Structures are given as structure tokens and as C-alpha cells.
Structure 1
Amino acid sequence: MKKLLLSLALVAGLGLAANAQTEGAVKKLSIGAEVGLPTEGGDLLIAGGSLQAEFPIAKSLNLTGSAGYLNLMLTGDAKDLAKAFGAPTSTGVVPLKAGVKYYFGGNFYAAGEVGAAISTEDGGGTALALAPTLGASFSVSDKSSLDFGLRYENWSKDGSSSGIIALRAAFAFGL
């Protein structure tokens, strides 16, 4: 958790050093790597990737649509225990979400998405996914940028919920 917060602080520092430029005025597609941790319990690591499309609807406001794959992997004692009983040590989730992204202060943004987190396991079902995000986008050329976002994502199903804190590092290009 401390490493995730330190990474976000580093991204914020880089943003202050970069030239301020409003990123929200163009259509773009980004491809990113994701890593995260659960908000409860410590023997789980989340890793995966995602695609996100952005479509401007106002000067600093974009509609977003995203899809990806997250692998939830047991670690430590939990992994050893699962192996001992012949249980799986990882599972997959396919998040499909839509939302909005608002750019403020040039490179920085706040976003919110809602959608579904679909389990890849038989009988795993589908959960409601809610994901607020804070991040920054840095231009590397006229039509491309690097995007770093830190989000809390909550999955709710059948009266229970679970959350993750995840960092997404992505390369975005204009469409």
C-alpha cells in the first residue's frame, strides 16, 4: 500500500514539472497494465490489463468505456493452504465499465465508472462494479500520452462486497 501511495506522489510530482496541457479535448484509446491489492485480507495480489476509450463531450469532460482482465492470485499461506487441498490458487475477472473522466489542472483528472465484474469461473456470476479514480496524463507527443491512475474498485454481489486499490499505468494515443 505504501508503494502505491509513493507511486502516486511521484506521478503528482512529475505532473507539476510537466507543461500544463488539457488532455480531455481529444478522442483516445489507452492500453494499460494494472496491479492491485484487496482492501481487506492480505494474501491476494491482483494483476492484469485493460483497454479504455475516451470520447470528449465538453472541454475537460470525456465519456469513458473500459474492458480488461484481472487475475486474482493467492499469495503466502493462503496459496499454500489452497494447494494442499487441491483448490485453485487464482481466478479471473473481466471488468466492463462506462463512466466519465474530468480533467482539472491540466494533466490531472478524476473519473468514475460503473459496470460489471464478470467472473471467469463456472458459477462465479457477475458483480456490480463501481470505480472512482484519481490520476494524471502526460503528453509524450502530439497524439500520445502516458496515463497513471489510482482507483478504488468495489464489487457488490448478493448483499456482500469486496474492494481493491489498483494502480493503472497506460499508453494512450489519439484516434
Structure 2
Amino acid sequence: MKKLSKLMSAAFMAAILFFTTETKAQTTPANAFVLSLGIETGIPTGVARLGTNFNLGGTARLQYGITNNFALTFTAGGYHYFPKKIPGQDARFQSYGELPIKAGVREFFLPNVYVGGEVGIAFEKLEGPDWGPRRLDLSPNLGYATKNWDFGIHYDHLTHKDDHLGIFALRVAYGFGL
């Protein structure tokens, strides 16, 4: 599963490089800030799949247009993993959350269609007062954005030493200029 996640991330990044060499579309205003607030839901992968079925979260993303088709992004938020029942028991696995903080880029290669990538850190919050490990967060994404709406899919690859997990997620956000 670890090799599959790495292969999928590499293929997605190759697609980003391929598409960003095509004709550019003027979609994001240069020298302007856009703040979007989004809700996200996803399917866990890797070790997260062992104790959870899905996650739900919210993020805030600040975007700054460098040119009319290239932007810098800063994203922060939180994801909650909903636990499965432990097989053969009347209890559930421990629930937990990830609090990501990421910076990245976004390239509009067709009108309203973008590819991007973010890198950052995710803090794992366990039940009670305990915190889990900090994880490297690599997140390629693809989406469709209008003046106010942003619909995107992304894969967050979260890693800490030999512990790998991920999220295939859908983000629906409402954005406004600042």
C-alpha cells in the first residue's frame, strides 16, 4: 500500500508538470488575495484505514495571485477521523484528528481548472489531552474554481518515520476577495 501511495503521488505530480506547460488561462487575478472557507470529506488510506472509514473537516485557504494564472496558497484547518467498531467487540477504535498547516502553489491551465501542490506539517490530536506525532503533509490537488466557488479533490500523504497514512478528499469551498 505504501508503494501504491507513492506511485499515485508521483503520477499526480507528473500530470501537474505536464499540464502546466500547456496554454495558460487567465483565471486568478494578479496581486489579489482570495480567502476560501471549505468543508472536506474523504476516505482514509494506509494505517488510517485500519480504524476509520471516513473523515470530515474544514479548512481556510488564503490564495495570492502572482500572475493571472499562478497563485501561492496557505491552508490551515482540521480533519476528524470517525472510528470503526473493533471486530468482535462492542467498542470502537480511538477517534483522532489531524490539524494541517500547508503552503503551496496553484496553476490554472484551462479557464477555471487548476492543478496544485502543497507541503506542510500536520499535528495529530488524540482523544483527551494527548497529542500524536507531527507528520509531513504532501498534498497534490486538482480542481475547478469560479469567482466564489472552489471544488477540488486532493490526496494528503501524511508520513512520520515508517508510519504512512493518507486521505483522498473532496473540498467544497466558498471564496471571496480581500
Aligned residue for 2:156?
153
The aligned amino acid for 2:143 is G
Aligned-residue CA RMSD (Å): 2.1
SS of the residue corresponding to residue 132 of structure 2 reads coil
Structure 1's unaligned 5+ residue stretches are: 1-19, 140-144
Question: 1:11-160 counterparts in 2 under 5 A?
Answer: 22-25=27-30, 26-40=32-46, 41=49, 43-74=52-83, 78-81=84-87, 84-85=90-91, 87-88=93-94, 90-121=95-126, 122-139=130-147, 145-160=148-163
Normalised by the size of structure 2, how large is the TM-score? 0.75
Structure 2's unaligned 5+ residue stretches are: 1-24
Which segments of structure 1 move beyond 4 Å, counting only runs of 4 or more?
80-83
**How far 1:159 sits from its partner (Å)?**
1.9
SS of the residue corresponding to residue 27 of structure 2 reads coil
Identical aligned residues as a percent: 37
Query: CA 1:148 to 1:24, structure 2 compared with 1: closer, same or farther past 3 Å?
Result: farther
Q: Matches of 1:52 and 1:114 in 2, distance apart? A: 13
Normalised by the size of structure 1, how large is the TM-score? 0.76
1:70-126 CA distance string (max 9 Å, x none): 00112xxx32549735752x2111011001111111100001000011011214120
SS of the residue corresponding to residue 92 of structure 1 reads strand
**How far 1:134 sits from its partner (Å)?**
0.2
Count residues with an aligned counterpart.
147
Deviates more, 1:20-29 or 1:32-41: 20-29
Q: Matches of 1:52 and 1:148 in 2, distance apart? A: 13
1:10-67 CA distance string (max 9 Å, x none): xxxxxxxxxx861353310000000000234374211010000001122211110010
Q: Matches of 1:129 and 1:170 in 2, distance apart? A: 20
